Amino acid sequence: MAYSDKVVDHYENPRNVGTLDKSSGAVGTGLVGAPECGDVMRLQIRVNPQTQVIEDAKFKTFGCGSAIASSSLATEWVKGRTINQALTISNTDIVKELALPPVKIHCSVLAEDAIRAAIGDWKKKNGVADESPAEVAVAS
Amino acid sequence: MSLQNQNAIGHNGNGNGSNGAVAGTNSTGVVITHSTTPLPAGVHLPLYMDNHATTPLDPRVLEAMMPYFTGKFGNAASRNHQFGWEAEKAVEIAREQIAKLIGASAKEIIFTSGATESDNLALKGIAEMYRERGNHIITQVTEHKAILDTCKKLEKQGFRVTYLPVMADGLIDLDDLRRAIVTEGPEKTILVSIMFANNEIGVIQPIAEIGKICHEKGVLFHTDAVQAVGKVPVDVQSMNIDVLSISAHKLYGPKGVGALYVRRRNPRVQITEQINGGGHERGMRSGTLNVPGIVGLGAACEICMNEMAGEAVRETELRDYLRAKFEGALDYVHVNGNMEYHLPGNLNMSFVYVEGESLLMGINDIAVSSGSACTSATLEPSYVLKALGLGDDVAHSSIRFGLGRFNTRAEVDYVADKIIDVVRKLRELSPLYEMVQEGIDLTKIEWAAH
């Protein structure tokens, strides 16, 4: 199967590979997928508690080239956005950007899940309610 | 150096010894590419190391075939002129060449379009012919789909099929076979079909023992010997094989031609034809013979006959060398399948914590096969590897190397170095590898299967 140039580029030069300290209160970690399905993504974000801006993002992925590219792209897209903005990233955006074929759509779904899981983890750690993140400022 | 560059996997100019191609322009203005890093002597890309899928045509085979495409184009069934006689003579020489390689007589060779047809003809033809005698067939779970899907069809027609499991090394348990054979009643076993050598993991089943058991119990024995014939000694007499499938393109012959050996005495095996027509091939397989293809199959068998012993030693050495390179350089690698009873040119290795398709993507100038089928909607890994008891995650991490007649030691070195390089880089990217390094037991994690 032929991969798109963008998938190849992310595969050959993956962005933001690495690990953040998952015990840090500022870090949210999302671990999605399963080894037996051939796809595991771990996406981590460091969030500024005042602005809720994602200041850093790292990933590691076990999976096919499209899975690696989807998670690499996700880290690029979430960096510099607020968590609310990051939550608007959908798998279809990833499919479009990487020109993923239908059999690889699950890779993009997994990347979206990873973003949501990482943000969810950060919110849980920081006592932020899911619906209205603005309350954080009030609570703290 | 940025983090991006440190983690670069690709084959273009990241100092991993590959041929980073650079576009340039010659005086005619045509865009050309040339290599920045010269390839080792004797290595040409793309590099083929997938000889279980198919083999290149041996130039000597092509030479033997050529006249039968042009001047000697006769129909082997034309009995009244020399064009026909010439074609028929060539076919009979090929029949002898094939028979000799497997210890059969020429009259026991039936030509087909390939091994899938041979397998279909053997199973369906025997099932139909011997239906009065019994309705039970025994095969095993790691057969090729040409056998498994044919068995599924026979089940729909009322036959009962037993699929023997395999042990962790890929071999069947002979006691399982003995227990499965039914010798009396309407459910009597009429046929056992066990492949000679597996196309994914290369293990060689105890064929002589299986043949002995079948003959003692009065059951016919078919073997799909596609991967074995021409690679390891096959003798239908001493191994008590009654019916055997052969493909030309797996032994450096042309695609689209195969053969079925059908025993003529002790016992005489009868097969109901599945294609009706002019009554060719003693009525078992109608259709004008593919004379150039058959000549090619014959020539390919003769070359194997002459060169097999030395070639098996050479390929076994190369395969063991390839394995040793991986095991010396990488942790968490292991071979799949019994390595004692094994095809010379096969190596099936799991590079744990690296997904097979991503590994293949990093070596896209090398042709090997992955145990992962992640491109399918089901995400199912190889059923053969799963039958060994491998977890899906390990099956997803497996690569099949198929060494053949034209592979060299320089190529093995190139492939090994390239794969080691890509595996290391992908493991830097693998959350599973990191977790295992930290001592986390991956089986204790509640994964969200998707």
B427 with B330, same domain? yes
Catalytic site residue from A64, A89, A107, A128: A107
B41 near A CB under 8 A: no
The answer to the question of residue B450 being in a domain is no
B266 with B329, same domain? no
The answer to the question of residue B401 being in a domain is yes
Q: What region, left, alpha or beta, does residue B145 occupy, with left being phi > 0 and alpha being psi -120 to 50 degrees?
A: alpha
B312 with B300, same domain? no
Separation between Cα atoms, residue A40 and residue A61, nearest integer Å: 6
Burial class (CB in 10 A: 0-12, 13-18, 19+), B449: exposed
The number of folded domains in chain B is: 3
Ordered structural domains, chain A, with CATH: 5-126 (3.90.1010.10)
B298 with B328, same domain? no
The answer to the question of residue B179 being in a domain is yes
The answer to whether B193 and B146 have CB atoms below 8 angstroms apart is no
Separation between Cα atoms, residue B253 and residue B94, nearest integer Å: 12
Cβ–Cβ contacts within 10 Å for residue B334, how many? Answer: 16
B104 with B158, same domain? yes
Look up A37 and say whether it is catalytic.
yes
Among A18, A36, A64, the residue with its CB nearest the CB of B358 is A64
Tokens of A53: 């801006």
B1 near A CB under 8 A: no
Measured torsion, CA atoms of residues A23, A29, A34, A40, in degrees rounded to the nearest 10: -110
Farthest-apart Cα atoms in chain A, separation: 52
Q: Please list the residues that pair with B136 across neighbouring strands.
A: B160, B189
B429 with B398, same domain? yes
> What is the predicted ipTM?
0.91
3-class secondary structure, B154:
helix
- Chain B CB contacts of A32 under 8 Å are 448, 450
Span A12-69, pLDDT tens digits = 999 999 999 999 999 999 999 998 888 999 999 999 999 999 999 999 999 999 999 9
Tokens of B430: 């693998």
pLDDT value for B371:
66
Local structure of residue B398 (DSSP, 8 states): E
Yes or no, beta carbons of A36 and B392 under 8 Å apart: yes
Q: Please list the residues that pair with B32 across neighbouring strands.
A: B24
Please report, for the domain that includes residue B412, its CATH number.
Answer: 3.90.1150.10
pLDDT value for A103:
87
- Chain B CB contacts of A37 under 8 Å are 379, 392, 449-450
The answer to whether B97 and B294 have CB atoms below 8 angstroms apart is no
What b/e readout covers B204-235, taking b as 16+ CB neighbours within 10 angstroms? bbbbeebbbbbbebebbbbbbbbbbbbbbebe
Tell me the residue range of the domain where B433 lies: 42-54+308-444
Local structure of residue A53 (DSSP, 8 states): B
Question: With a CB-CB cutoff of 8 Å, which residues 396-415 of chain B face chain A?
Answer: 396
B201 with B297, same domain? yes
Centroid of chain to Cα B414? 23
Last residue of a domain, one of B304, B334, B351: B304
The answer to whether B213 and B181 have CB atoms below 8 angstroms apart is yes
B6 with B102, same domain? no
Q: Does the pLDDT of residue A125 top 60, yes or no?
A: yes
Nearest CA in chain A to B450: A33
pLDDT value for B372:
58
Name the minimum distance, in Å, from the CA of B272 to any CA of chain A. Answer: 41
Tokens of B363: 């070596």
Look up A64 and say whether it is catalytic.
no
In the block, tokens 């091994």 appear at: B115
B226 with B362, same domain? no
- Chain B CB contacts of A62 under 8 Å are 353-355, 429-433
Q: Please list the residues that pair with B188 across neighbouring strands.
A: none
The candidate with the shortest Cα–Cα distance to B246, out of B237, B236, B141, B238, is B236
pLDDT value for B380:
72
The answer to the question of residue B150 being in a domain is yes
Last residue of a domain, one of B249, B279, B304: B304
- Chain A CB contacts of B5 under 8 Å are 13
Global pTM? 0.88
The answer to whether A6 and A20 have CB atoms below 8 angstroms apart is no
Separation between Cα atoms, residue A122 and residue A124, nearest integer Å: 5
Yes or no, beta carbons of A33 and B392 under 8 Å apart: no
Yes or no, beta carbons of A11 and B375 under 8 Å apart: no
Reading chain B (450 residues) residue by residue, the pLDDT tens digits are 333 434 444 444 333 333 334 444 444 444 444 445 678 888 999 999 999 999 999 999 999 999 999 999 999 999 999 999 999 999 999 999 999 999 999 999 999 999 999 999 999 999 999 999 999 999 999 999 999 999 999 999 999 999 999 999 999 999 999 999 999 998 999 999 999 999 999 999 999 999 999 999 999 999 999 999 999 999 999 999 999 999 999 999 999 999 999 999 999 999 999 999 999 999 999 999 999 999 999 999 999 999 999 999 999 999 999 999 999 999 999 999 999 999 999 999 999 999 988 999 999 899 999 865 444 444 578 899 999 999 888 888 999 999 999 999 999 999 999 999 999 999 999 999 999 999 999 988 888 765
B292 with B318, same domain? no
What are the φ and ψ backbone dihedral angles of B405, each rounded to 5 degrees?
-55, -35
Separation between Cα atoms, residue B237 and residue B203, nearest integer Å: 21
B12 with B74, same domain? no
Contacts of B76 (CB under 8 A, 6+ apart): B84, B87, B88, B90, B91, B288, B289, B291
The answer to whether B248 and B258 have CB atoms below 8 angstroms apart is yes
B322 with B245, same domain? no
The answer to the question of residue B216 being in a domain is yes
Name the minimum distance, in Å, from the CA of B392 to any CA of chain A. Answer: 4
Cβ–Cβ contacts within 10 Å for residue B400, how many? Answer: 25
The answer to the question of residue B204 being in a domain is yes
Yes or no, beta carbons of A33 and B434 under 8 Å apart: no
Separation between Cα atoms, residue B245 and residue B120, nearest integer Å: 10
The answer to the question of residue B203 being in a domain is yes
The answer to the question of residue B449 being in a domain is no
